[in-house]
Each structure stands twice: as C-alpha cells, then as structure tokens.
Structure 1
Amino acid sequence: MAQLYAGLTVLEILGIAIKKELGAARFYRRTADQMVNPLIKNRFLALAKDERMHRAMLGAEYKRLTGEAKEPPLPNLEFPKDEEYDFSNFAVEDALQFAIRAERDAQKLYAEAARASRDPRGKRLLDYLVEFEKGHERQLRAELDFYKKSPLWFEDTEDLIHVGP
C-alpha cells in the first residue's frame, strides 16, 4: 500500500480517502440492511455514520488547505479498483472479514498521508483517523469472534435490551 501512494500529494491522498470513506459508509449501510438483529443493525449504522463523519472531516481539511469547497480531484494514475463486496451472496462472516480488510487499508492510507504531510494540523487529523480506523477494526474483529461462537445471535429478532457501550 505504501508504494501505491508514494509520490502522491496530501491533497491527492485526501481525494482518494474521501472516495474510500463514502464507499465504506455505503458498505456499512447496506450491511446494516442485511441484519435482522436490531443491535447488530445499529452497530453497522453507527459505523456508517462514523465513515460519513470522516468524509466530512477530510473534506473540511481539503477546504482548509485549498480554500475550495468542491470535491478534491483524484490523481491521474492507474489504481487498482477497490474491492467491492458482493451483496447478492451476503454472508455475515464474509462481510465482517471484508470490513476488517477495508479498515486496515484505511489505516495504511491515513498513515501514508500523515507521513507525507508537512502540515502539523493535517498530520494530527490523519493520525487521529488512523487510530479511529484501528478502533473500527477492533470492533469488527470482536463481532467476527462473537459471530463464530454464536452465529444465531445475528439472526435473533426478538426484543433485546442493550447493556454496555
């Protein structure tokens, strides 16, 4: 991943990151739509909300750096197409593994951008996003571990009481 983004400007990386955050938000929303357990559904909706928030933060940073409110341009380079999840063959375990890979890729992207940033404020934002995405990865790994132990929980539709974070 580091070689893939090597040589790009922070602005170009911001453009890529915004595109990826929008894709992640759509993925989490569609995954939530597949869940029948209301607690699990709400966890994925919360992830979608986080990704939309990240997109807004990245957009604000782009505007701060350039003064432009429009979407940042993507670099004129050939990039491998982002992997897309096949919702026609939805499986909880596969979706969780897909999400974990995507969160790990986001961490690498933000870390690369932070290393390239000469702006302390931008670097802080990118470092913050690295840690936030690590939290998402931990959350998704915990969901995957629980799913492997108790897959029927993800199919439970009875009224549930949520206790805890």
Structure 2
Amino acid sequence: MSEDKVEIINPPNTVKTKVRVGGPGAVDASTLERAEEAIASMADQYLDWVQDDLKRIDSAYEILKAATGDRTEEIDGVFQVAHDMKGQGGSFGYDLVTAIGNQLCRLIEKLETYGDPEVNAIRVHIDAMKLVIGQKMKGNGGKADDQILLGLEKVGEKLLR
C-alpha cells in the first residue's frame, strides 16, 4: 500500500466550466455571472455551515468510538459527513478540507476492521480539518498544506500495512 500515491482532487469552482454558452441547452453569460456572484456571496456563510459539519462529524466520531462489534454502521456516519465536507470545501476556497476529506473517505473505504488504531486515525483526520477551518487556511498548495497531507498519508499507510 505504500506505493499508493495521494491524489488531490480540486474541483473547479466556477460555473462557467460546467455549462455551455451558446447552442442548445446553453445558459447566457448574465445568468452565469449571477450564479457565480451567488456562490461567492455564500462563501462567507461557509464558515458557519462548516461549524455545523464539524459538530456532526464529532458526534458521529463519538458514536463510533463508543461502539462495540464491527462498527460498520457507525463508520458510515463518519464517512457521510466527511464526504459532505469533501464536496463543499473546495467550492468555497477550502481546498485542504476537500483533500483531507478525500483522504479520510479513501482510508475508511480501504479499512477492513475498525478497532482502536483505526478509530484514532480517523480522529487525526477530523482534527486536521478542524485545524484548517480554525486557522482559515484557504486555497491550496503551500508548505503547511503539504505537511498536513503527507502526515495524514503516513497515518493511513501505517494502518494499511
């Protein structure tokens, strides 16, 4: 598994790349501009929304941590919130939230058991997302981003050996 390379998926966050201008089924430029303005205005609200997501993922994590048995149902609760966060982060300029959410989702998919080491690794990913939001680490790239992702990748590799 150590040969697996991390793939960071940064979704485009402009509407123009998703719809055609001109021709059948096309949207006119003014409609696109209004849609982009609406998305930009929602970016300020993202920090409020993501706080709710952090509460949800914390709650799902606590349920997972307290669970006994195979924890399959409980792990799905964490996965669903992480997946939502992954989808929203990049749309509002928090590309690292998307990357961490992606790593967490891929890790959960690869795990065969959900014991204490696996649950602790999930906590590390959640804490990393909290750090990114708390420090308002917008954008992508940069040394800190690389270090966070590399550290999380190593956590996953250690579990999957």
TM-score by length of 2: 0.40
TM-score by length of 1: 0.39
